[in-house]
Amino acid sequence: MKFKVSRRIVREGDIVEVTWECPEAESARITIDNGYRTASAVVPPSGSKKYKLNRSKGRTRITLFANCHGTPVHRELFIIVRKSRSSKAKGDNTVYDSYTRMDKPNLKQRFKIFRERLSYAWQYLPAQKKLAYTLLLLLFLVMLLSAFIPKATYFALLALAAYLLWYIYKK
């Protein structure tokens, strides 16, 4: 498995060509970690791509992951990225490949993450807090309902009082 970059020391805004060759690989992926964000792109088993390295915490790690005969292998290269002297990053007219950010989920993924975190937090809450949160939610719903439908609210409060009396009597 061969994996190399055109330059190991660059300035912000410079373009680096990444070349790789793993002929026995079934799949390959290049990941770029600049210290702030991680980005990834699926690539063919052999080839080269040009990337523009902008913001970095001084060292950018480029990793090639490949799956050869069912065995995962990876190689890492580090590029030192120095601050640009001018505020305007230097560049040429060369076309370079963009890569997708891995750390910015879409709306559906954000909702799933929120739901999983909420479920995890609810799982480890003490019973008294669960009861308090449930009653607060119920009280909020009753207040909201009372603003729009007063008769239904009266019936809901009556039903809640009956349930609580039954619960107390049962215990």
Q: Which domains does the chain have, with CATH numbers?
A: 2-104 (2.60.40.1930), 108-170 (no CATH)
Give the model confidence (pLDDT) of 13-55 as tens digits: 888 999 999 888 888 999 998 888 888 888 998 999 998 888 7
Which token pair is 33? 């970690």
CB-based burial, 120-151: b 16+ in 10 Å, e otherwise? eeeeeeeeeeeeeeeeeeeeeeeeeeeeeeee
Mean pLDDT throughout 100-105?
A: 60
Full-model pTM:
0.51
Contact yes or no for 18/60 (Cβ under 8 A): no
Give the model confidence (pLDDT) of 44-96 as tens digits: 989 999 988 887 888 899 999 998 888 889 899 999 988 876 544 445 555 55
Which of 86, 19, 83 is closest to 53 using CA atoms? 83
Give the model confidence (pLDDT) of 144-164 as tens digits: 877 888 887 788 788 888 988
* pLDDT value, residue 19: 93
Which token pair is 85? 């002297």
